[in-house]
Structure 1
Amino acid sequence: MTSADDRDEMWARRAGSFGSHARAYAEHRPDYPAAAVRWALEPLGGSSLGRSSLEVLDLAAGTGKLTAVLVAEGHQVTAVEPDEKMLAELVRRNEEVRALPGSAERVPLPDRSVDAVLVGQAFHWFDRDAALPEIARVLRPGGVLAGLWNYGDLSVPWVAEFDRIGHDGTNRGVSDVDQVMPDHELFTGSARATFPHVHRRTAETLVATVGTQSHVLVAAEEERRALREQVLAFLRARPETAEGEFDFPLTTHVKRMTRA
């Protein structure tokens, strides 16, 4: 039986596994649909129809998958990321963005300094007891906190089968958005929405995407190789994915709350 200490150690290894693979992460992870970002920021207005831009913190920004969408929407973005290699890749790809080392538990920004805090595919790594008050600290009153998560669209049969093969089960655990990003006394107006999204892939690049997931990154090389072979064989056998490029169907889940 795995002890709590062993589980905690593995979780820490997974959380710290991305930096050595920052370029692959930037190349192969999906971005986020603009519609999801606009909905997240809807209580504040936004810049999509000519309104003034917002000051947005992309927290645990990784290599900037969400940062780039926010910049394209016309917002003033500060990206904060604890892993120096991920942050360096973000800067390489988003030179105009203010990028700072820091974490959700220790945000390197002054009190009440941003209109919104957005978190892409990272809330499950936070110490939420420490992170939620810290996020509230840097938000202006009425500011928005939103978490975004991309998941394969499991209503599509081949995607559901692919998900079963390519994941270890823990990703399903973090798909309970209210558990991962709980309501909190410092925030009000909790709301959720989902948005269709796609990731343009080939069989080989979708295998590469699986290879950027933390449970794969920390596995032994023989396990990684076996998983890659299994996933590629599955994709080669499916008419939807056997040859050339295809759209991998995703669902983007968003939860937003307002700073009280």
Structure 2
Amino acid sequence: MEHENQIQEFKKRDSQVMADMEAQVHKLREELINVNSQRKQQLVELGLLREEEKQRAARDHETAVNKLKAESEKMKIELKKTHAAETEMTLEKANSRLKQIEKEYTQKLAKSSQIIVELQTTISSLKEENSRQQLAADRRLQDVTQKFEDEKKQLIRDNDRAIKALQEELESRSNQVRCAEKKLQHKELESQEQVLCPLSLGWVVCLLSPSQGAYVFPVSIGMLWLQVAASSTPSWHKQQRGLLPHKTRSL
């Protein structure tokens, strides 16, 4: 029962460790999904910002050109009503103003192009950063998964060794019990040994040992079964208790 409790305890501890590792893997996957979602959202927002900047620059340029054209046409109509010199001077001023405006909007367009390039560079950097983070997260997830598998295999090996040790201990104790039972049976057989002594002429001669000699018992004619507990009770102890007669002669 104690071995079964230990095995159950090992299984319970392994289940808890596996559950903790699976929860950690699940948490890392959720963090990776959140990071990817944030990066995608940033890329979408930057793309929209770049497109909006391009459209705004185009609209401003078109509006300015249309405005200049309208002003130029208006000035031309007014100049036709005035002196030719004033008309020429006004046209020169208008052309100069138009060139100045075109220069300003060219500079603005160049600045917008620079902003677009910077946005594209930022998008590329974010993509590279996202790729690095994705790769790092994948490696971390792979490392955690590998660590989880290694710990799982180690726990299984530890459990197998513990179970094997318990089984070997149980088998050893069982062998000890069987050995003790065999020794007990052997002692019981020795204590219950049957000695058959034939009777002739009314006497029984029982040889105890070469040093102690033999004992002669006067009995009636027939066959007598004499049970002697040689291994459990010494002969000198039986003589002291009156169980054996006095020694008569040696063989």
- Fold match, TM over 0.5? no
| Higher-Rg member (1/2) | 2
Higher-helix-fraction structure:
2
Instruction: Classify the TM-score, shorter chain.
Output: under 0.3
Higher-strand-fraction structure:
1
Q: TM-score, normalised by structure 1?
A: 0.15
Bigger RCO (CA 8 Å, 6+ sep): 1
Q: TM-score, normalised by structure 2?
A: 0.15
